[in-house]
Structure 1
Protein backbone atom coordinates (compact mmCIF):
# COMPACT_ATOMS: atom_id res chain seq x y z
CA UNK A 1 0.00 0.00 0.00
CA UNK A 2 1.23 3.49 -0.79
CA UNK A 3 0.78 5.93 2.09
CA UNK A 4 1.24 9.63 1.43
CA UNK A 5 1.90 11.55 4.65
CA UNK A 6 1.35 15.29 4.49
CA UNK A 7 3.47 17.06 7.08
CA UNK A 8 6.97 16.44 8.38
CA UNK A 9 6.60 17.50 12.01
CA UNK A 10 6.76 15.13 14.97
CA UNK A 11 3.57 13.31 13.98
CA UNK A 12 4.41 12.91 10.30
CA UNK A 13 7.93 11.72 11.09
CA UNK A 14 6.78 9.22 13.70
CA UNK A 15 4.14 7.69 11.44
CA UNK A 16 6.51 7.57 8.47
CA UNK A 17 9.02 5.55 10.48
CA UNK A 18 6.28 3.35 11.94
CA UNK A 19 4.80 2.34 8.60
CA UNK A 20 8.01 2.37 6.57
CA UNK A 21 9.12 -0.64 8.58
CA UNK A 22 6.35 -2.74 7.01
CA UNK A 23 5.44 -3.57 3.45
CA UNK A 24 4.20 -0.09 2.61
CA UNK A 25 5.48 2.49 0.17
CA UNK A 26 5.64 5.56 2.41
CA UNK A 27 6.16 9.05 0.99
CA UNK A 28 6.33 12.34 2.90
CA UNK A 29 4.80 15.46 1.39
CA UNK A 30 6.29 18.84 2.26
CA UNK A 31 6.35 22.33 0.83
CA UNK A 32 10.08 22.31 1.61
CA UNK A 33 10.79 19.32 -0.61
CA UNK A 34 13.13 21.42 -2.81
CA UNK A 35 15.37 22.31 0.15
CA UNK A 36 18.16 19.74 -0.19
CA UNK A 37 19.90 20.71 3.06
CA UNK A 38 16.67 20.38 5.03
CA UNK A 39 15.90 17.05 3.34
CA UNK A 40 19.29 15.72 4.42
CA UNK A 41 18.61 16.80 8.00
CA UNK A 42 15.19 15.15 7.86
CA UNK A 43 16.62 11.89 6.53
CA UNK A 44 19.17 11.84 9.33
CA UNK A 45 16.43 12.47 11.92
CA UNK A 46 14.22 9.71 10.49
CA UNK A 47 16.99 7.16 10.29
CA UNK A 48 15.18 5.70 7.28
CA UNK A 49 15.17 6.42 3.58
CA UNK A 50 11.68 7.89 3.14
CA UNK A 51 11.17 9.92 -0.05
CA UNK A 52 10.18 13.56 0.43
CA UNK A 53 8.22 15.20 -2.37
CA UNK A 54 5.82 18.10 -2.74
CA UNK A 55 2.32 17.58 -1.25
CA UNK A 56 0.58 17.04 -4.60
CA UNK A 57 3.10 14.39 -5.64
CA UNK A 58 2.75 12.65 -2.27
CA UNK A 59 -0.90 11.77 -2.90
CA UNK A 60 -0.41 10.47 -6.45
CA UNK A 61 -1.09 6.73 -6.39
CA UNK A 62 -1.60 6.73 -2.62
CA UNK A 63 -4.40 4.58 -1.25
CA UNK A 64 -4.20 6.34 2.11
CA UNK A 65 -3.35 9.99 2.65
CA UNK A 66 -2.42 11.09 6.17
CA UNK A 67 -3.07 14.67 7.19
CA UNK A 68 -0.41 15.53 9.76
CA UNK A 69 -0.25 19.24 8.96
CA UNK A 70 -1.10 22.07 11.40
CA UNK A 71 -4.88 22.08 11.77
CA UNK A 72 -5.27 25.71 10.73
CA UNK A 73 -3.37 25.03 7.49
CA UNK A 74 -4.86 21.64 6.58
CA UNK A 75 -7.83 22.64 4.45
CA UNK A 76 -5.94 25.27 2.41
CA UNK A 77 -3.16 22.76 1.73
CA UNK A 78 -5.62 20.02 0.74
CA UNK A 79 -7.53 22.49 -1.43
CA UNK A 80 -4.28 23.30 -3.19
CA UNK A 81 -3.82 19.60 -3.97
CA UNK A 82 -7.37 19.51 -5.32
CA UNK A 83 -10.49 17.44 -4.78
CA UNK A 84 -9.97 15.29 -7.91
CA UNK A 85 -6.55 14.16 -6.65
CA UNK A 86 -8.06 13.13 -3.30
CA UNK A 87 -11.23 11.52 -4.64
CA UNK A 88 -11.66 7.85 -3.74
CA UNK A 89 -8.82 7.89 -1.22
CA UNK A 90 -8.88 7.22 2.51
CA UNK A 91 -7.74 10.32 4.38
CA UNK A 92 -6.49 9.59 7.89
CA UNK A 93 -6.75 12.89 9.73
CA UNK A 94 -4.58 13.29 12.83
CA UNK A 95 -4.55 17.08 13.10
CA UNK A 96 -6.07 19.48 15.62
CA UNK A 97 -6.12 23.21 15.02
CA UNK A 98 -5.24 25.88 17.56
CA UNK A 99 -5.40 29.66 17.31
CA UNK A 100 -2.52 31.88 18.39
CA UNK A 101 -4.08 32.30 21.85
CA UNK A 102 -4.28 28.54 22.38
CA UNK A 103 -8.00 28.10 21.69
CA UNK A 104 -9.37 25.46 19.35
CA UNK A 105 -9.66 26.71 15.79
CA UNK A 106 -12.71 24.49 15.23
CA UNK A 107 -14.95 24.97 18.29
CA UNK A 108 -18.27 24.20 16.55
CA UNK A 109 -17.24 21.86 13.76
CA UNK A 110 -14.21 19.58 13.90
CA UNK A 111 -11.42 19.79 11.39
CA UNK A 112 -12.29 16.23 10.39
CA UNK A 113 -15.84 17.34 9.56
CA UNK A 114 -14.60 20.34 7.60
CA UNK A 115 -12.30 18.15 5.54
CA UNK A 116 -15.09 15.66 4.86
CA UNK A 117 -17.52 18.45 3.90
CA UNK A 118 -14.95 20.09 1.64
CA UNK A 119 -13.95 16.79 -0.02
CA UNK A 120 -17.13 14.67 -0.15
CA UNK A 121 -15.57 12.06 -2.44
CA UNK A 122 -12.75 11.38 0.05
CA UNK A 123 -13.26 8.96 2.96
CA UNK A 124 -12.09 10.83 6.07
CA UNK A 125 -11.23 8.93 9.26
CA UNK A 126 -10.22 10.82 12.39
CA UNK A 127 -7.87 9.01 14.77
CA UNK A 128 -4.62 9.22 16.79
CA UNK A 129 -5.19 12.84 17.85
CA UNK A 130 -5.64 11.94 21.53
CA UNK A 131 -2.04 10.88 22.21
CA UNK A 132 1.49 12.18 21.81
CA UNK A 133 3.34 11.46 18.57
CA UNK A 134 5.82 9.11 20.24
CA UNK A 135 3.07 6.91 21.63
CA UNK A 136 1.31 6.68 18.28
CA UNK A 137 3.97 4.19 17.22
CA UNK A 138 4.85 2.79 20.65
CA UNK A 139 1.67 1.83 22.52
CA UNK A 140 3.59 -0.97 24.24
CA UNK A 141 5.57 1.63 26.19
CA UNK A 142 2.50 2.38 28.31
CA UNK A 143 2.03 0.56 31.61
CA UNK A 144 -1.32 -0.83 30.51
CA UNK A 145 -3.82 -0.88 27.63
CA UNK A 146 -5.02 2.41 26.20
CA UNK A 147 -7.91 3.37 23.94
CA UNK A 148 -7.65 4.87 20.46
CA UNK A 149 -10.73 6.31 18.77
CA UNK A 150 -11.96 6.26 15.18
CA UNK A 151 -14.54 8.60 13.65
CA UNK A 152 -15.74 8.42 10.06
CA UNK A 153 -18.71 7.85 7.80
CA UNK A 154 -17.24 5.03 5.68
CA UNK A 155 -17.01 1.60 7.32
CA UNK A 156 -14.47 0.22 4.84
CA UNK A 157 -12.22 3.24 5.31
CA UNK A 158 -12.30 2.73 9.07
CA UNK A 159 -11.44 -0.94 8.53
CA UNK A 160 -8.39 0.11 6.48
CA UNK A 161 -7.29 2.58 9.14
CA UNK A 162 -7.82 0.02 11.89
CA UNK A 163 -5.44 -2.31 10.07
CA UNK A 164 -2.80 0.42 9.90
CA UNK A 165 -3.23 1.08 13.62
CA UNK A 166 -2.77 -2.65 14.30
CA UNK A 167 0.53 -2.47 12.42
CA UNK A 168 1.69 0.35 14.73
CA UNK A 169 1.09 -1.96 17.68
CA UNK A 170 -2.45 -1.01 18.65
CA UNK A 171 -4.44 -4.21 19.27
CA UNK A 172 -7.98 -4.41 17.95
CA UNK A 173 -9.39 -4.41 21.49
CA UNK A 174 -7.85 -0.95 22.01
CA UNK A 175 -9.73 0.55 19.06
CA UNK A 176 -13.09 2.20 19.72
CA UNK A 177 -15.28 3.20 16.78
CA UNK A 178 -17.20 6.29 17.90
CA UNK A 179 -19.40 6.46 14.81
CA UNK A 180 -19.68 9.04 12.07
CA UNK A 181 -17.34 11.92 11.34
CA UNK A 182 -19.35 14.26 13.58
CA UNK A 183 -17.90 12.37 16.55
CA UNK A 184 -14.47 13.74 15.60
CA UNK A 185 -15.47 16.83 17.58
CA UNK A 186 -15.05 14.88 20.80
CA UNK A 187 -11.61 13.65 19.78
CA UNK A 188 -10.40 17.14 18.90
CA UNK A 189 -11.93 18.80 21.97
CA UNK A 190 -10.18 16.25 24.18
CA UNK A 191 -6.94 18.03 23.28
CA UNK A 192 -7.77 20.69 25.88
CA UNK A 193 -8.08 18.04 28.59
CA UNK A 194 -4.95 16.37 27.24
CA UNK A 195 -2.96 19.56 27.79
CA UNK A 196 -4.39 19.88 31.28
CA UNK A 197 -3.41 16.32 32.19
CA UNK A 198 0.06 16.80 30.71
CA UNK A 199 0.55 19.89 32.83
CA UNK A 200 -0.65 18.08 35.95
CA UNK A 201 1.62 15.04 35.58
CA UNK A 202 4.51 16.77 33.84
CA UNK A 203 4.50 14.53 30.78
CA UNK A 204 2.82 14.07 27.41
CA UNK A 205 3.61 10.35 27.48
CA UNK A 206 0.29 8.97 28.68
CA UNK A 207 -2.74 7.27 27.24
CA UNK A 208 -6.38 7.07 28.27
CA UNK A 209 -8.57 4.04 28.61
CA UNK A 210 -12.33 3.65 28.36
CA UNK A 211 -13.31 1.42 31.29
CA UNK A 212 -16.73 -0.25 30.83
CA UNK A 213 -19.03 -0.94 33.77
CA UNK A 214 -18.62 -4.19 35.67
CA UNK A 215 -20.81 -7.03 34.43
CA UNK A 216 -23.50 -8.30 36.72
Structure 2
Protein backbone atom coordinates (compact mmCIF):
# COMPACT_ATOMS: atom_id res chain seq x y z
CA UNK A 1 0.00 0.00 0.00
CA UNK A 2 1.25 3.49 -0.76
CA UNK A 3 0.88 5.72 2.29
CA UNK A 4 1.25 9.49 2.45
CA UNK A 5 2.34 10.53 5.93
CA UNK A 6 1.74 14.26 6.38
CA UNK A 7 3.90 15.88 9.05
CA UNK A 8 7.50 15.37 10.13
CA UNK A 9 7.22 15.30 13.93
CA UNK A 10 7.23 12.50 16.50
CA UNK A 11 4.37 10.56 14.89
CA UNK A 12 6.21 10.48 11.57
CA UNK A 13 9.37 9.25 13.32
CA UNK A 14 7.41 6.40 14.89
CA UNK A 15 5.17 5.42 11.99
CA UNK A 16 7.43 5.79 8.97
CA UNK A 17 10.04 3.13 9.87
CA UNK A 18 7.39 0.64 10.96
CA UNK A 19 5.29 1.13 7.83
CA UNK A 20 8.39 0.66 5.70
CA UNK A 21 9.18 -2.56 7.60
CA UNK A 22 5.72 -3.83 6.64
CA UNK A 23 6.60 -3.27 2.95
CA UNK A 24 4.43 -0.20 2.46
CA UNK A 25 5.65 2.58 0.19
CA UNK A 26 5.84 5.70 2.34
CA UNK A 27 6.01 9.30 1.15
CA UNK A 28 6.29 12.06 3.76
CA UNK A 29 4.56 15.39 3.24
CA UNK A 30 5.79 18.72 4.60
CA UNK A 31 5.23 22.39 3.82
CA UNK A 32 8.73 22.88 2.45
CA UNK A 33 10.99 19.87 1.88
CA UNK A 34 14.08 22.07 1.62
CA UNK A 35 13.35 23.85 4.91
CA UNK A 36 12.57 20.56 6.63
CA UNK A 37 15.86 18.99 5.58
CA UNK A 38 17.83 22.10 6.53
CA UNK A 39 16.15 23.02 9.81
CA UNK A 40 14.67 19.79 11.15
CA UNK A 41 17.80 17.89 12.18
CA UNK A 42 15.79 15.02 13.67
CA UNK A 43 13.99 14.44 10.39
CA UNK A 44 17.24 14.74 8.43
CA UNK A 45 18.67 11.93 10.58
CA UNK A 46 15.56 9.84 9.98
CA UNK A 47 15.84 10.37 6.24
CA UNK A 48 19.48 9.34 6.26
CA UNK A 49 18.63 6.09 8.03
CA UNK A 50 15.72 5.32 5.70
CA UNK A 51 16.64 6.39 2.16
CA UNK A 52 13.43 4.80 0.82
CA UNK A 53 11.45 7.64 2.40
CA UNK A 54 10.37 10.25 -0.11
CA UNK A 55 9.92 13.83 1.10
CA UNK A 56 7.51 16.04 -0.84
CA UNK A 57 5.20 18.99 -0.30
CA UNK A 58 1.77 18.17 1.09
CA UNK A 59 0.22 18.67 -2.35
CA UNK A 60 2.76 16.43 -4.07
CA UNK A 61 2.64 13.69 -1.43
CA UNK A 62 -1.07 12.92 -1.74
CA UNK A 63 -1.53 11.91 -5.42
CA UNK A 64 -1.14 8.16 -5.84
CA UNK A 65 -1.52 7.39 -2.14
CA UNK A 66 -3.92 4.64 -1.12
CA UNK A 67 -4.12 6.01 2.42
CA UNK A 68 -3.20 9.38 3.94
CA UNK A 69 -2.15 9.89 7.57
CA UNK A 70 -2.71 13.32 9.12
CA UNK A 71 0.19 13.74 11.56
CA UNK A 72 0.17 17.55 11.35
CA UNK A 73 -0.17 19.38 14.68
CA UNK A 74 -3.76 19.90 15.78
CA UNK A 75 -3.98 23.71 15.58
CA UNK A 76 -2.69 23.66 11.98
CA UNK A 77 -4.06 20.52 10.40
CA UNK A 78 -7.48 21.66 9.16
CA UNK A 79 -6.05 24.70 7.40
CA UNK A 80 -3.24 22.60 5.93
CA UNK A 81 -5.51 19.86 4.61
CA UNK A 82 -8.45 21.93 3.35
CA UNK A 83 -6.69 22.97 0.09
CA UNK A 84 -5.99 19.28 -0.56
CA UNK A 85 -9.70 18.36 -0.61
CA UNK A 86 -9.86 17.77 -4.41
CA UNK A 87 -6.84 15.44 -4.28
CA UNK A 88 -8.26 13.60 -1.27
CA UNK A 89 -11.61 12.69 -2.84
CA UNK A 90 -12.39 9.06 -2.05
CA UNK A 91 -9.26 8.61 0.06
CA UNK A 92 -9.04 7.17 3.54
CA UNK A 93 -7.60 9.89 5.80
CA UNK A 94 -6.29 8.59 9.13
CA UNK A 95 -6.40 11.41 11.66
CA UNK A 96 -4.08 11.08 14.68
CA UNK A 97 -4.12 14.78 15.64
CA UNK A 98 -4.91 16.29 19.04
CA UNK A 99 -6.85 19.53 19.70
CA UNK A 100 -4.08 20.96 21.87
CA UNK A 101 -1.46 23.64 21.30
CA UNK A 102 1.67 22.20 22.91
CA UNK A 103 3.52 25.50 22.48
CA UNK A 104 1.25 27.34 24.94
CA UNK A 105 1.61 26.67 28.70
CA UNK A 106 -1.46 24.98 30.18
CA UNK A 107 -3.33 25.13 26.88
CA UNK A 108 -6.93 23.94 26.76
CA UNK A 109 -8.57 21.59 24.28
CA UNK A 110 -10.02 23.39 21.27
CA UNK A 111 -12.40 22.20 19.88
CA UNK A 112 -13.93 20.24 22.74
CA UNK A 113 -17.20 18.69 23.91
CA UNK A 114 -19.50 19.76 21.06
CA UNK A 115 -17.03 19.30 18.21
CA UNK A 116 -13.73 17.58 17.43
CA UNK A 117 -10.80 17.88 15.06
CA UNK A 118 -11.92 14.64 13.47
CA UNK A 119 -15.30 16.16 12.65
CA UNK A 120 -13.75 19.40 11.42
CA UNK A 121 -11.52 17.45 9.07
CA UNK A 122 -14.47 15.44 7.78
CA UNK A 123 -16.38 18.67 7.11
CA UNK A 124 -13.34 20.18 5.39
CA UNK A 125 -12.90 17.00 3.33
CA UNK A 126 -16.52 16.02 2.65
CA UNK A 127 -15.67 13.48 -0.06
CA UNK A 128 -12.90 11.79 1.92
CA UNK A 129 -13.23 9.05 4.53
CA UNK A 130 -11.80 10.33 7.81
CA UNK A 131 -10.95 7.78 10.50
CA UNK A 132 -9.77 8.96 13.92
CA UNK A 133 -7.35 6.65 15.72
CA UNK A 134 -4.09 6.40 17.72
CA UNK A 135 -4.65 9.81 19.34
CA UNK A 136 -4.86 8.37 22.89
CA UNK A 137 -1.23 7.21 22.88
CA UNK A 138 2.33 8.46 22.80
CA UNK A 139 3.91 8.28 19.37
CA UNK A 140 6.21 5.44 20.42
CA UNK A 141 3.30 3.32 21.66
CA UNK A 142 1.37 3.71 18.39
CA UNK A 143 3.59 1.20 16.63
CA UNK A 144 4.74 -0.82 19.64
CA UNK A 145 1.67 -1.83 21.65
CA UNK A 146 3.48 -4.89 23.02
CA UNK A 147 5.79 -2.62 25.03
CA UNK A 148 2.84 -1.88 27.31
CA UNK A 149 1.26 -4.77 29.24
CA UNK A 150 2.25 -7.22 26.51
CA UNK A 151 -0.12 -5.36 24.20
CA UNK A 152 -3.17 -5.79 26.43
CA UNK A 153 -4.69 -2.35 25.92
CA UNK A 154 -7.15 -0.71 23.55
CA UNK A 155 -6.86 1.43 20.44
CA UNK A 156 -9.99 3.21 19.22
CA UNK A 157 -11.33 3.99 15.75
CA UNK A 158 -14.04 6.51 14.85
CA UNK A 159 -15.43 7.22 11.40
CA UNK A 160 -18.55 7.36 9.28
CA UNK A 161 -17.39 4.90 6.60
CA UNK A 162 -17.34 1.23 7.61
CA UNK A 163 -15.05 0.16 4.77
CA UNK A 164 -12.51 2.85 5.68
CA UNK A 165 -12.54 1.74 9.31
CA UNK A 166 -11.97 -1.85 8.16
CA UNK A 167 -8.87 -0.76 6.20
CA UNK A 168 -7.52 1.17 9.17
CA UNK A 169 -8.31 -1.65 11.60
CA UNK A 170 -6.40 -4.10 9.40
CA UNK A 171 -3.43 -1.74 9.37
CA UNK A 172 -3.58 -1.41 13.16
CA UNK A 173 -3.63 -5.19 13.50
CA UNK A 174 -0.54 -5.41 11.31
CA UNK A 175 1.16 -2.98 13.71
CA UNK A 176 0.52 -5.41 16.56
CA UNK A 177 -2.76 -4.17 18.00
CA UNK A 178 -4.92 -6.93 19.51
CA UNK A 179 -7.87 -4.85 20.76
CA UNK A 180 -9.23 -2.43 18.13
CA UNK A 181 -12.51 -0.91 19.36
CA UNK A 182 -14.86 0.72 16.85
CA UNK A 183 -16.61 3.57 18.67
CA UNK A 184 -18.95 4.41 15.80
CA UNK A 185 -19.20 7.55 13.67
CA UNK A 186 -16.71 10.40 13.47
CA UNK A 187 -18.72 12.21 16.14
CA UNK A 188 -17.23 9.77 18.67
CA UNK A 189 -13.83 11.37 18.02
CA UNK A 190 -14.98 13.92 20.60
CA UNK A 191 -14.61 11.26 23.28
CA UNK A 192 -11.10 10.12 22.41
CA UNK A 193 -9.85 13.67 21.83
CA UNK A 194 -11.08 14.63 25.30
CA UNK A 195 -9.01 11.75 26.72
CA UNK A 196 -5.94 13.89 26.07
CA UNK A 197 -6.32 15.71 29.40
CA UNK A 198 -6.43 12.32 31.14
CA UNK A 199 -3.37 11.23 29.16
CA UNK A 200 -1.39 14.34 30.18
CA UNK A 201 -2.26 14.04 33.88
CA UNK A 202 -1.68 10.28 33.92
CA UNK A 203 1.73 10.78 32.31
CA UNK A 204 2.67 13.13 35.14
CA UNK A 205 1.30 10.79 37.80
CA UNK A 206 3.04 7.61 36.58
CA UNK A 207 6.18 9.30 35.30
CA UNK A 208 6.07 7.90 31.77
CA UNK A 209 4.27 8.32 28.46
CA UNK A 210 4.38 4.57 27.87
CA UNK A 211 0.94 3.47 29.05
CA UNK A 212 -2.36 2.68 27.42
CA UNK A 213 -6.07 2.71 28.15
CA UNK A 214 -7.85 -0.65 28.40
CA UNK A 215 -11.60 -1.16 27.98
CA UNK A 216 -12.49 -4.17 30.10
CA UNK A 217 -15.64 -5.96 29.01
Q: What TM-score comes out, normalization by structure 2 length?
A: 0.92
Counterpart position of 1:163: 170
- The aligned counterpart of 1:71 is 74
* Structure 1, unpaired ranges of 5+: none
1:176 corresponds to 2:181:
yes
Aligned counterparts of 2:5 and 2:127: Cα–Cα separation in 1:
19
1:117, distance to aligned residue in structure 2 (A): 1.3
Q: Which moved more, 1:97-106 or 1:143-152?
A: 97-106
Between the aligned partners of 2:71 and 2:63, the Cα distance in structure 1 is: 17
Cα distance, 1:139 vs structure 2: 0.8
Counterpart for residue 154 of structure 1: 161
Q: Where do 1:50-129 residues align within 5 Å?
A: 50-81=53-84, 83-99=85-101, 100=104, 101-107=106-112, 108-129=114-135
Asked whether the 8 Å contact 1:19–1:167 carries over to 2, the reply is no
Q: Look up the SS of the partner of 1:91 in the other structure.
A: strand
CA distance in 2, matches of 1:32, 1:120: 26
Inter-partner Cα distance in structure 2 for 1:41 and 1:51:
16
What secondary structure is seen at the aligned counterpart in 2 of 1:170? coil
Q: State which of 206, 209, 212 in structure 1 corresponds to 2:211.
A: 206
Q: Please, which moves more after superposition, 198-207 or 138-147?
A: 138-147
1:186 aligned partner: 191
Q: Which runs of 5 or more structure 2 residues have no equivalent in the other structure?
A: none
Equivalent position SS for 1:206: coil
- Residue 131 (structure 1) aligned with residue 129 (structure 2): no
Residue aligning to 1:195? 200
Distance across 1 between alignment mates of 2:61 and 2:68: 8
* Deviation, structure 1 residue 38: 4.4
After the TM superposition, list the runs of 4 or more consecutive aligned residues in structure 1 that deviate by more than 6 angstroms.
Answer: none
**What is the DSSP-based 3-state SS (H/G/I as helix, E as strand, rest coil) of the residue aligned with 2:172?**
helix
TM-score (norm 1): 0.92
Cα distance between partner residues in 2 of 1:87 and 1:45? 30
